[in-house]
Structure 1
Amino acid sequence: MSDHASESPRPERAPGAPEAAEPPAGSQPEAEPADAPASGEAQASGPPSTGGPAGPPVGVPQPHGSAQKPGTPAVPRPRDTERPPPTSGAPEPPRTPAYAQRARPPQPNPWGQTRQAPSELSRLRPVKPGAIPAATLWAVLATGLLSALLLGEGIGLNLLLVAVPAALAAYFAARGASRRLRPWTAVWAVGGLALLVVPALRDAGWPTFLAVVSAFALGSLALHGSRSWLGMFLGSLGLLTSVAESLGWGVRGVRDRMTGSRGRWGVVFRSTVVAVVLLVVFGALFASADAAFADVLSSLMPDVSVGDSPWRFFLGVLGLVGALAAAYTAAAPVRWDGLTVRPGKARGRLEWALPLVVLNLLFAAFLAIQLTVLLGGYDKVMAETHLSYSQYAREGFWQLLWATLLTLLVIALALRWAPRGGARDRTLVRTVLGTLCLLTLVVVASALRRMDLYVDAYGLTRLRISVAAVELWLGVILVLIMAAGVFGAKVLPRAVAASAAVGVLVFGLVSPDGLIAEQNVERYHRSDHSIDIEYLSGLSADAVPALDTLPEPLRSCALEKIQRALRDSDEPWYATSWGEARARDILGDWDPGYRTRDCRGLGAGENGSERGDTDDPYDPYDPY
């Protein structure tokens, strides 16, 4: 039995007979007639339609008398739910009701989840790096391995050995991302590697720390390529923003290369294991056969023990993650220059220039008095102020240093609010600020002269040489600002950063501890000044060549502490600086012995001050 009801055949309509009426709503629709006319044939009556068939519209009843050729199929009638097409010239009715065309209010999310806006970091890093190159993976792996083997026993040449494969990883990643090597990028990269030479040359810890921090900042700048003031500051620290994303990038790269190449990796692993086994076995045999070869092998190979394995594992992970973050940043750097600082509101000429002109007059009056002192001599000033020239120098240096720093702050704020109306405003700004910079340079020279007088009276120390170097660098910044006023300030941020890096490099290469010892020893030999042996004995091994020229028992008292530290140290070659190695060659197996029994207060003069100057029993200027 069929599921559908049977229908009686529909009688054929005679030609010229009217069409049957539509069935009422709700009734069963009849079968479509098979003799409807073709859509391409013209009808006998009805208005012609443009761009369509000549017959009447589908679904419109034909009038009586409309002829239809016998034997042609009838036009199918639309069902109740269909809408007839519009006739020629009539507007097409809307396909949706009017109430449905109204704007619907947003429906609340039943799950309570909202789409988050893209972060500021994703806007500043517009592209994502592609697949990690194989050369980058190998360089990152080499960095992690060298970090685990070489960084556990001190700082020296090992930092440079670890930094080289990390720099290669960044270079391969940048080349894979089609980044070009620009001149400033090369300057930052070469400067960062040059700063890591300082730990390999100097034993003193404080210039080494400055060099390592500066090398990290320059390496980050080489990866980002910033040029604005804010971009230079954030770009020097921006390597830390790539650590999290670089981990996933590296894991995906390793997984993609492991897929389908397990056989090749198995060959590499087996070959490496066999090579290591052969080196260990035959190296142990040769070392036991020859003592000289054993000494060379023990000095070259890292001393790896089970006890420091967690520490070495941490250093290896740190080096691997750092190299991976550097490579990721090189492939997709953060454009920190996209963060802009809104310029300050331009001031009127009188409102802006009047305070600066008054400041210039104050600087000029101060420098006129300084010129009088230089021409009249310090003796006249000392007689009027009842101060020694060492006291006069000590009381003025710090004030002049702060005056220089505050002047740089005033210049920065003045440039932010400077008038920007036209050529006259630019001339006014350059004249006023150029005069202020020139007068401040004279203040810097006066401060350095005061420091020279103070060092001549009390000797050179770490604090004194540090602040003098900072004052000299501030003078370099003033010169760069004056040059920017003439040639343009486009490269001023990068020039200031480069001057700081050069200053740190020069400060480390001149060996501050060696310079301190040399100045104090020379001062002791050429005059009747005392020498502070207790202070000099606390210097690093860089001071040994100068202290070795002192007469006994001053020499033994100055070198006893340094010699004891060298004897207790068993650092390998890659963690030993050139200064420490030179001190070992000078001292050898020397033992000060009984000569160090009476070292307390030896050569200190009147409480450590200048001989004959009992009114100044101590030096509060230097806490060291």
Structure 2
Amino acid sequence: MASPLARAASLKIKLGALVAVSVLFATVIATVGANSKVTPWLVVPVTIAVALAVTQWLAAGMTAPLRAMTQAAGRMAQGDYTSAIPVGGNDEVADLARAFRAMATDLQDADQQRRQLIATVSHELRTPAAALRALLENMADGVTPADPANLESALGQADRLSDLLTDLLTLSRLDAGVTDLRLESVAVQELLDEVVAEYAAGGRPVTTQIDVRPPTLTVRAEPARLRQAVTNLLDNAARHTPSGTTVTLTAATAAPDRWHLDIADGGPGIAEADRDRIFERFGTDSAGGTGLGLAITRWVAEIHGGTVAAIDPQPGRRGARLRLMLPTDPPTRIRPDSVAGVRMPPGPPTPPRAPSSRPPGAPIPLDLARPERAVASRPRPAEGPVIDGLFGRVWPETVREGRPRLVALAALVGAMAGLLLPERDTGIAWSVVLLATGAAVVMAARRRTWMTAITAVLGVGLAALATLRAAEVVVPLSILAAALLIVVTIVPVSSAYGLMGAAAAWPTAGIRGLPWLGRSLARSGTATKWWRVARTATISLLALAVFGSLFASADAIFGHWVDVLIPDLTVDTFVARLFVGIFFGGVALAGMYLAINPIRDEALTLPKGRPLAHPWEWLVPVGLIVATYLLFIIAQASAWLGGHDFVQRATGLTYADYVHQGFGQLTVATVLTLVVVALTVRKVPQADPGDRLLLRVVLGLLCILTLAVVASALWRMHLYQQAFGYTTLRLLVDFFEAWVAIVVVMVMVAGITFRGRWIPTAAVVAGAALVLCFGLLNPDAWVAERNLQRYAATGKLDGSYLTSLSADAAPAVAASTLSPADKRCILGNGPGQFLTEDDALEWNLGRVRARAALAQVGPGQASRSCAPIGS
């Protein structure tokens, strides 16, 4: 996905534009949402999501070269120089990427030369060395006589080794790159005669023809190095010249300040593809050879300010023709440019000679020259997943390729929510959207386990509560419980820390998955099928909107049908639908990203740390907590046995005030007890059976006392509700205490085997099941029934609280023993005050039953002046 800032010439300009455009988008979206009276719960997350998406779009490609260079540097450290570095734009990062790519190319060339060195030199050294060793051992064993012919053969192999080593040593001296020349006047004719004579005296006769024009040609050069260059050229020509042919050396002036030396042979010639490569270090032509001599010749030419090259032979002749072009008076100090001196690293130590398996006296074959195996390249290191520095090792991106289908599915969920939910109360539409969102997230994980089945069953029930109940507290609770169910289904968790981290990862995926979203959109842009589908859908919707609006304004009946079938698309409702669609689509997409790239539970789990050295270090604090629990239970038993008079004498409080006091503290104490148990298990050593038994007894006793405190809290709440009435919040607290008790029992079961990795998932399942039971219980109706029963028994009723209940409470009010006037007053000021007709997608069982109750009681008057009910 190309960034619109790709052509900016400076990184500062890109960053400034990035900040400015992102802030502008966020401001516009927040302003539009506020002016359209969209709830802040939608405006804030949608604004943040759009701002981050715009930032990702504008920043696309800005850091790609840096990431690629980081990966390439890691692979280069292991010998792989083939990484492709993307280069785009004209900013400082692009310049760095180009320089890095040029460096990688140079290093790759150097590495290739090193490998060629190993292959070529090992072959060139092994052949004469092996032949010389075989010959000498055969002579030592008496298999081959030590006559002059065999000694001459051994001397020839030693000379070959000496020549090769001399070339390597000479080449290693050339790596300095800057050389001072000791220039002298050199007569070219005399130099060529001496080189030919010395070459022939070395036992390598060759027929030569020297032609110097003018014969008195004299130049300035360093005699030793110029002689070395000419010798290497002559040796190269002699090796390729068949017997009976002549090597021609022609020297002449080429310009007033330059001269050249051509050396031509009668061999097969040099292919055009090899003409540059033969002068590279360790480069060879198709005929073989190390190429060291010609590399030295190029270096000599360049430090004199000249060149050497292979040129076409003269017309009518065949063979190779090399030209050495030099100035007649070169400068004394020249830095060569074309010969890249790559220093050779010191070789490995020579291994000890292995004992020979050849029987004594057996001859060693002299023909040991054989093709060597190709030098194996280093294995390419495996590329690990790219992990953003913000998330570290906690959340690696295991699936990096884009998934256009998931993005399309999230867009479909968002479009469905935007069309169905705005301007509708909870009902069928909400259940459908919640089911679609949860199903999209769970199916993206592609993991089918027993948790998937449990989530499907409970999820359907929790989503159905939006259709069955009208109470405002039920739907948020069911959404929260369903979200936690989905989290433990798509992310395997084994600790409380892992559960909290996985739950926080769902909204955080909006940031973590932005690069993945960009790759998905880029991949969808290259897919012809998806592009055609999107284009067809866009054109079709545009045509439908244009022609539908024209026909709707032209015919009243057609316009009525349009109003029924198509939702209201005024400016305010369109903005609201847009915000709702983006929110639900983003939630679905973030959940699907978490499903395919789950956060690492083991990275979120804290290490156990150093265990306690002595049992008393944990027995003392835990024992004090157990003693505190025991004293509290004794106090509770005393109050229960002593009754109202005892409590009033001891505390000065009525029994009702006494049972109300401290209920919140007891709830916090039970939760903290679970924390104490978890910390104790982490710090206490469990290797010894005695330690495990002691831990089971102490923590088991603490859990039993915690259950007793939970039971006491539930009993106190029951007494308080009987004294002061029932509320939905108090009923919800009862369910929460029941869930805490279930978790405590789970901890006691896990303490038998010391295996509690299943507890977080089981606790979430139990909590979701309790939320479903809470919704199916119809809390507002249950609370209304209990308060009306209390009124029938005591004559006390909080009528103002009944008016605050939802439509679910209307049937209970209508069926009560209240007077018709009191019923109409409660229903008119409460559950039935805002009831309007619902469409098919807004159908809700609680509101349907409330309308029936209103029809039974009769119309009520919404007024604040109703007479008080009860006392």
TM-score when normalising by structure 2: 0.53
Judge conservation of contact 2:417–2:584 (CA < 8 Å) in 1: yes
Residue identity matched to 2:828: E
Judge conservation of contact 1:390–1:454 (CA < 8 Å) in 2: yes
User: Structure 1 residue 416 and structure 2 residue 682: aligned?
Assistant: yes
Residue identity matched to 1:121: F
1:186 to 1:241, Cα distance in 2 relative to 1, 3 A: farther
1:197-243 per-residue CA deviation (whole Å, 9 max, x = no partner) reads: 22222222123222223333333343333332221111112122332
Q: How many residues align?
A: 529
Matches within 5 A, 1:343-354: 343-347=608-612, 348-354=614-620
User: Structure 1 residue 406 and structure 2 residue 672: aligned?
Assistant: yes
SS state of the match for residue 467, structure 2?
helix
Matches within 5 A, 1:143-542: 143-153=413-423, 154-170=425-441, 173-174=444-445, 179-188=446-455, 190-243=457-510, 244-257=514-527, 259=528, 288=557, 302-347=567-612, 348-371=614-637, 373-374=639-640, 387-395=653-661, 397-487=663-753, 488-525=755-792, 527-542=793-808
**CA-CA distance at 1:161 after TM superposition:** 1.8
Judge conservation of contact 2:807–2:832 (CA < 8 Å) in 1: no
1:81 alignment partner, one of 275, 293, 296: 296
2:846 alignment partner, one of 562, 579, 604: 579
Judge conservation of contact 1:420–1:426 (CA < 8 Å) in 2: yes
Distance, in Å, in 2 between the alignment partners of 1:77 and 1:410 is 77
Distance, in Å, in 2 between the alignment partners of 1:249 and 1:209 is 34
- Worse-superposed segment, 237-246 or 383-392: 383-392
Distance, in Å, in 2 between the alignment partners of 1:260 and 1:540 is 49
1:267 to 1:552, Cα distance in 2 relative to 1, 3 A: closer
Judge conservation of contact 2:551–2:558 (CA < 8 Å) in 1: no
Aligned to 1:140: 410
Distance, in Å, in 1 between the alignment partners of 2:694 and 2:663 is 32
Which stretches in structure 2 are left out of the alignment for 5+ residues?
1-186, 206-221, 244-290, 299-340, 349-385
Aligned to 2:830: 562
- Worse-superposed segment, 513-522 or 20-29: 20-29
1:262 to 1:535, Cα distance in 2 relative to 1, 3 A: closer
SS state of the match for residue 152, structure 1?
coil
Residue identity matched to 2:821: P
Residue identity matched to 1:141: A
Judge conservation of contact 2:666–2:713 (CA < 8 Å) in 1: yes
User: Structure 1 residue 32 and structure 2 residue 297: aligned?
Assistant: no
Distance, in Å, in 2 between the alignment partners of 1:269 and 1:369 is 72
- Worse-superposed segment, 234-243 or 155-164: 155-164
Distance, in Å, in 1 between the alignment partners of 2:790 and 2:672 is 34
- Residue identity over aligned pairs, in percent, reads 30
Which stretches in structure 1 are left out of the alignment for 5+ residues?
42-75, 84-93, 102-115, 606-624
**CA-CA distance at 1:443 after TM superposition:** 1.5
Residue identity matched to 1:323: A
Distance, in Å, in 2 between the alignment partners of 1:234 and 1:565 is 43
Residue identity matched to 2:432: L
Aligned to 1:54: none
Higher relative contact order (CA 8 A, sep 6+): 1
1:166 to 1:520, Cα distance in 2 relative to 1, 3 A: closer
1:578 to 1:261, Cα distance in 2 relative to 1, 3 A: closer
1:376 to 1:143, Cα distance in 2 relative to 1, 3 A: same
1:459 to 1:278, Cα distance in 2 relative to 1, 3 A: same
Judge conservation of contact 2:404–2:524 (CA < 8 Å) in 1: no
**CA-CA distance at 1:559 after TM superposition:** 1.2
1:404-432 per-residue CA deviation (whole Å, 9 max, x = no partner) reads: 23333332332232233411111111110
1:357-391 per-residue CA deviation (whole Å, 9 max, x = no partner) reads: 34323433443454455456556655766644322
Judge conservation of contact 2:413–2:588 (CA < 8 Å) in 1: yes
SS state of the match for residue 607, structure 2?
coil
Aligned to 1:592: 860
Judge conservation of contact 1:218–1:236 (CA < 8 Å) in 2: no
1:261 to 1:482, Cα distance in 2 relative to 1, 3 A: closer
Judge conservation of contact 2:442–2:486 (CA < 8 Å) in 1: no
Residue identity matched to 2:822: L
TM-score when normalising by structure 1: 0.72
1:150-177 per-residue CA deviation (whole Å, 9 max, x = no partner) reads: 1211433323322344345445544xxx
Judge conservation of contact 1:189–1:219 (CA < 8 Å) in 2: no
Residue identity matched to 2:768: A
SS state of the match for residue 345, structure 1?
coil
Judge conservation of contact 1:184–1:225 (CA < 8 Å) in 2: no
Distance, in Å, in 2 between the alignment partners of 1:117 and 1:397 is 47
Judge conservation of contact 1:404–1:444 (CA < 8 Å) in 2: yes
- Worse-superposed segment, 452-461 or 159-168: 159-168
1:156 to 1:236, Cα distance in 2 relative to 1, 3 A: farther
Judge conservation of contact 2:552–2:559 (CA < 8 Å) in 1: no
Distance, in Å, in 2 between the alignment partners of 1:202 and 1:260 is 43
Residue identity matched to 1:439: L
Distance, in Å, in 2 between the alignment partners of 1:188 and 1:537 is 36
Distance, in Å, in 2 between the alignment partners of 1:117 and 1:327 is 19
Distance, in Å, in 2 between the alignment partners of 1:370 and 1:493 is 32
Distance, in Å, in 1 between the alignment partners of 2:540 and 2:775 is 44
Distance, in Å, in 2 between the alignment partners of 1:429 and 1:376 is 36
Judge conservation of contact 2:422–2:576 (CA < 8 Å) in 1: yes
Aligned to 1:56: none
Aligned to 1:72: none
Residue identity matched to 1:391: D
1:82 to 1:450, Cα distance in 2 relative to 1, 3 A: same
**CA-CA distance at 1:283 after TM superposition:** 10
SS state of the match for residue 833, structure 2?
helix
**CA-CA distance at 1:189 after TM superposition:** 5.3
SS state of the match for residue 139, structure 1?
helix
**CA-CA distance at 1:579 after TM superposition:** 1.1
